[in-house]
Chain A
Amino acid sequence: MEPSLTPERLRSALQQMMRIRAFEEMAEQLYMRGLVHGTMHLSIGQEASAVGAVLALEPQDYILSTHRGHGHCIAKGADLGRMMAEFMGRETGYCRGRGGSMHIADVDGGNLGANGIVAGGLPIAVGVGLSMQLQSLPRVCLTFFGDGAANEGAFHEALNVAAIWRLPVVFFCENNNYAMSMAVRDAFPTELISQRAAAYNLPGVTVDGNDLHAVYAAAAEAVARARSGHGPTLIEARTYRWRGHSKSDRNLYRTQQEIAEWKERDPITRLRARLIADGVLGAAEADAMLAAVHEEIAAAVAFAEASPEPDPAALEDEVYA
């Protein structure tokens, strides 16, 4: 089901994936140069999941994100300058430097926040879904989470409640094969995480998370189902993070060969090739698009670097409303 993937939307999707990749490559560089305080969790290699899922949403719909959330935030339409400023801890950042990489939220844009607690967003997503149902608002809440979150108790509590009340929620699991170092093959008794949907009498679907078209198709069906009052869906998007869990990761739990194999399935290379083959985009146009993205990222860094640091005197201002 690809009802509305117009050439224009497909080109835009490719560009968003390029933005995510370029943002995170720059984030990594800034970190290496010692310009960033703290850690970060990069989603390089997972861009089709973030963009394909959000592509199925309307602007007024909500997402909840994870610690590996740069891609979700950009996909939902965040401003790169304000994101980069947040990453660098500046006052002009989305969270005025209080949240950082792991807590970026773009509330006005419908991103209700990245989350440092694995599975922390799932119970909140159910609450957003209930809120929409109580207010009779036709909005959907899509919550991203990783394979690790599917083994938290909150996952089960959330799926159950969303199912019994038929809430307009999409549970979107980015299965990137590892919960930090714990392999999915060692952490689940089943082949597919999506099989767990059956326990809650929900549709469960596993898709190739590196195939934008497949992700979009699954998400669009789930969103339509949620919006029409038929309740939630569990989507498992199979993907892979090229980088380590965070900066402390020495990749002791996986082989270089495995990483190389997954890099052969690069979602951006795949989408670019398909769009060119389908006549949606020319190669020169794609190259120009990437060049433009790199200019945007450079501008975002310049904006962030020129932005003021937060004032310690104002530290306690936003603890209470």
Chain B
Amino acid sequence: MTTLAPAEATTVARPQRELTYAEAIREALRQEMRRDPRVFLIGEDIGVYGGAFGVTGDLVHEFGKDRVRDTPIAEEVIAGLAVGAAITGMRPVAEIQFSDFVTLATEQIVNQAAKMRFMFGGKIAVPMVVRLPGGSGTGAAAQHSQSLEAWFAHIPGLKVVLPATPSDAKGLLVAAIRDPNPVMVFEHKLLYRTRGVVPEELYTEDLKAIVRRTGRDLTLVAYSVMVIRALEAAEQLAAEGIDVEVVDVRCLRPLDEATIVGSARRTGRVLVVHEAVRSGGFGGEIVARIVESEAFDFLDAPVRRLAGRETPIPYNRTLERSAVPQVEDIVAAARALVRE
């Protein structure tokens, strides 16, 4: 964590303040908008409504309708607004109401934002952020629950960030806003109400993986909500005497290979966990990076993946739960891997 405004830093012995993940995002937006007049927000129902998930909340009352700008339902233009504003001196933060709707904006993100700098020989920068609430678990069914991060991680020119905790939700978003490149920030809908300690001052988190829990027997590599489930699984496994390390990837592109490979080398056993379907999911890339690395010689078992099943997200609660990895699935897969 890099503290950027030491004058505002919390003093010692002050009780640590907790915020929800959604509140942490809002605080990041508020503090960055106060600091930098170039930062503004665009999206559907982010103004008086406060955002479909209440993330932008009351920001319109502080910053007005120009800087917290409601748009018509027109995702391609939302992304284009961000691109055009970013290349002419602004720092837009666009909200795609549900990450699934990014399908309607991929032209601008993939063909334009990601490629402009390269196509134009480095003569332009595209400092924009796209916030994307994604993931399953809310009964929103197949068109409002996907995990599409791997699509964007495939595109050179984009950065892809997935915060798992409230403090990361703030620090990674601030870093994304200050980044001179287009950054896709996938927020998980199930995490919005989770609480955690969040520093009050402005700070950035590096777009790198971190080890959330150290262990000797097995590494769980996860991101977004699966980090929380992996940590819970690690607690249960500890009771069985299995000592689990948990790596939170946090950023898929650029990928912090060193932290992942380092952990694989230490424990010799790796289970990669994500909610997106296995085929073409980012777990395949993580596995490949491990087995291509010097960690290969230290592996005691095949590197395995636990991922979403090969299906759209269903509506029914039981079906929905069965479609993506749950804590008990992680525990079972980890236990089996340790015994291999």
Point out residues on A near B: beta carbons under 8 Å. 62, 93-99, 103, 105, 107-108, 112-113, 115-117, 120, 122-132, 134-135, 141, 153-154, 157-158, 160-161, 164, 316-321
Distance of A125 Cα from B84 Cα, bound (Å): 6
Whether B72 and A164, one on each chain, are in contact in the complex, defined by CB atoms closer than 8 angstroms, is: yes
Q: Which of A105, A131, A154 is B119 in contact with, Cβ under 8 Å?
A: A105
Contact with A along B108-121 (1 / 0, CB 8 A): 10011000111111
Whether B72 and A160, one on each chain, are in contact in the complex, defined by CB atoms closer than 8 angstroms, is: yes
Whether B120 and A95, one on each chain, are in contact in the complex, defined by CB atoms closer than 8 angstroms, is: yes
Distance of A29 Cα from B81 Cα, bound (Å): 39
- Residue pairs across A and B with Cβ atoms less than 8 A apart, 24 shown, are A93-B121, A99-B120, A103-B120, A107-B124, A113-B116, A113-B119, A117-B107, A120-B107, A123-B76, A123-B80, A123-B83, A125-B84, A126-B81, A127-B81, A127-B83, A128-B88, A131-B85, A131-B88, A134-B67, A153-B76, A160-B77, A320-B159, A321-B126, A321-B127
Point out residues on B near A: beta carbons under 8 Å. 40, 66-67, 71-72, 74, 76-77, 79-90, 92, 107-108, 111-112, 116-127, 156-157, 159, 180-181
Residue of A nearest to B94 (CB): A127
Tell me how far the C-beta of B120 lies from the nearest C-beta in chain A, rounded to whole angstroms.
4
Residue of B85, B120, B127 with most chain A CB atoms under a 10 A cut-off: B120
Residue of A nearest to B92 (CB): A127
Q: Which of A62, A160, A317 is B122 in contact with, Cβ under 8 Å?
A: A317
Residue of B nearest to A125 (CB): B84
Tell me how far the C-beta of B266 lies from the nearest C-beta in chain A, rounded to whole angstroms.
30
Whether B117 and A318, one on each chain, are in contact in the complex, defined by CB atoms closer than 8 angstroms, is: yes
Tell me how far the C-beta of B270 lies from the nearest C-beta in chain A, rounded to whole angstroms.
28
Whether B90 and A117, one on each chain, are in contact in the complex, defined by CB atoms closer than 8 angstroms, is: no
Interfacial chain A residues near B90, Cβ < 8 Å: 131, 134-135
Residue of B nearest to A62 (CB): B88
Q: Which of B72, B81, B112, B118 is A120 in contact with, Cβ under 8 Å?
A: B112
Tell me how far the C-beta of B290 lies from the nearest C-beta in chain A, rounded to whole angstroms.
23
Whether A117 and B121, one on each chain, are in contact in the complex, defined by CB atoms closer than 8 angstroms, is: no
Residue of A nearest to B127 (CB): A321
Q: Which of A98, A164, A317, A320 is B120 in contact with, Cβ under 8 Å?
A: A98
Interfacial chain A residues near B92, Cβ < 8 Å: 127
Whether A117 and B122, one on each chain, are in contact in the complex, defined by CB atoms closer than 8 angstroms, is: no
Whether B120 and A124, one on each chain, are in contact in the complex, defined by CB atoms closer than 8 angstroms, is: no
Whether A105 and B124, one on each chain, are in contact in the complex, defined by CB atoms closer than 8 angstroms, is: yes
Interfacial chain A residues near B119, Cβ < 8 Å: 95, 98-99, 103, 105, 113
Interfacial chain B residues near A153, Cβ < 8 Å: 76
Distance of A184 Cα from B299 Cα, bound (Å): 63
Whether A107 and B123, one on each chain, are in contact in the complex, defined by CB atoms closer than 8 angstroms, is: yes
Tell me how far the C-beta of A133 lies from the nearest C-beta in chain B, rounded to whole angstroms.
8
